[in-house]
Amino acid sequence: MGWILERHAVLYGEEYGFDGRFEAQVAKVVTSFLESFDPQRERAWIAEHEGERVGSVALVEREPQVAQLRLLLLEPQARGLGLGPRLVGVCTEFARSCGYERIVLETTSQLIAARKLYAREGYRLLESWPTDEFGPALDFEIWRLDL
């Protein structure tokens, strides 16, 4: 989980100009996962390629019938290898096996590749609003997948 936090802070800072507030938010997500982890209903995955960690994703319980996809990340050298769809797909499969009725996720409009991936998986954009919560002006979004 430490690697997930560190890579989110570095990559999102470098690629999107996100500041320490984003790192603090990811730290809260990681802390919550570690403190209240339910192995029957929640998981985190680390993708590896050629012996190196190159990606992550987590699925957590948001409400009894609603899961939340969190912490999706792919290192630049791993993009285009099909790992993004595999990470999102494993979350969907796990959520179904746990009996969740839907998955929600939060993202920003600047994450174009991730948004395309979510749309291909069947997620629908529910809400969007402007914010500067992580530094640069961006559009914060809520997406949902009905299972």
**Cross-strand partners of 10:** none
Domain count within the chain: 1
> Is a pLDDT exceeding 90 seen at residue 125?
yes
Angle at 96 between CA 86 and CA 106, to 5 degrees: 65
Q: Rounded distance, CA 104 to CA 69, Å?
A: 6
Q: Is 8 in contact with 20 (CB distance < 8 Å)? A: no
Structural domain harbouring 130:
2-146
127 or 135: whose pLDDT is higher? 127
Residue 132's pLDDT band (cuts 50, 70, 90): confident
Give the CATH number for residue 19. 3.40.630.30
pLDDT of residue 138: 87
pLDDT of residue 14: 95
